[in-house]
Structure 1
C-alpha cells in the first residue's frame, strides 16, 4: 500500500487500538485486585476487542509480511529500543531523578536486548523443526529458552516464569 492518508490513518488506528488494549488490560488487573470482578471482565473483553481492531488495521495496512521479513523487522525494532530509545529515556529519567522510571526503563532495555537476540536466532534457525519452548519473566519481560533458577535481569524465581 502506497503512502496515503488512509495508510497513515490505518497505522494511527493500529497504534491507538494497541494502546487501548494495554490500558484496558491494566484497568482489568486493577479492578480484579480491587475485587470488582464485573468491571474486570468488561475491561478484559474490551481489551480483546481492541486487539481484534488493531490486528485488522495492521493487516489491511499491508504490514504483515513473510515470517523472515517479520523476524528481521522484530530484530530491528527491539535493537532500536535497547540501543537508542531506552538509553535516551534513561538519561531523561536520571536527570529528573525519577527512580521508578529508571527501574522500568532499565529492566525493559535489558529484556529488549534478549528479545532481539532470540528473534535473530529464530531467523537463523527458521527451518528447524524441533519444538522450542520459551519462558517469560512476568516481572521484567525477559524471555529464556529454559526455566532459570532466577531471572538473569530482575532476580524473580524461575518458578514464576510463564511457559510458551
Structure 2
C-alpha cells in the first residue's frame, strides 16, 4: 500500500475494532448471566458488527495472504506469545502477587504453545484432504484434535470441549 499513513490508520482501526469486538462480547456474556437479554443481544450484535469492520480494515490493509503464508504468520505470532510475551507478563504478575493474572497468563501461555504446534502441523499438511476436527477448551483456550478425558492445562472435563 503506497500511503503509509492510511496503512497505519487501517491497522489502528483494525486493532480498535478487534478490541471492541471482544469487549462487547464480554459485556454480552455478562448481561446474559444477569438475565438482561435485550442488552445481551445488542452487545452481541455490536460485537459482530465490530468484527465486520475489523475484517474489512485488515483486508484493505493487504494483510491477508495465502493460507500457507497465513499459517506461517500464525506460527510466528503464537510462538512470540508463549516464548516472549507471556513469560514477561508472568514475571510482572508474580512480582505484584496478582494470582488471577498469573493463572490467566499461564493458561494462555500453555495454550499458545499448542496453537503454534497445530498451525505448524497444518502448514506441513496443507494439502491433506481428510477433514480434521478440533476441540476447544472453553476455560483455557487449549485446542485438541480429539476430545481428551480432561484438559491437560486446566483440568476441565473433555465433555465441556467445543467441537470445530
TM-score clears 0.5: yes
**TM, length-normalised to structure 2:** 0.99
Q: How does 1:1-164 map to 2 (within 5 A)?
A: 1-2=1-2, 4-164=4-164
3-state SS of the aligned residue for 1:51? Answer: helix
Measured after TM superposition, the shift of residue 3 of structure 1 is 6.3
Count residues in correspondence. Answer: 164
Offset, 1:78: 0.1
Q: 2 CA distance for matches of 1:28 and 1:63?
A: 29
Question: After the TM superposition, which segments of 4 or more aligned residues of structure 1 sit over 2 Å from their partners?
Answer: none
The alignment yields a C-alpha RMSD, in angstroms, of 0.6
What whole-Å deviation, never above 9, does each CA across 1:118-162 have from its counterpart, x for those lacking one? 000000000100000000000000000000000010000000000
Q: CA shift at 1:61, angstroms?
A: 0.1
Unaligned runs of 5+ residues in structure 2 are: none
1:151 aligned counterpart, secondary structure: coil
Q: Matched residue of 1:117: which SS?
A: helix
* Distance in 2 between residues matched to 1:66 and 1:120, nearest whole Å: 15
Task: Provide Cα deviations, 1:87-107, integer angstroms capped at 9, x if missing partner.
Answer: 000000000000000000000
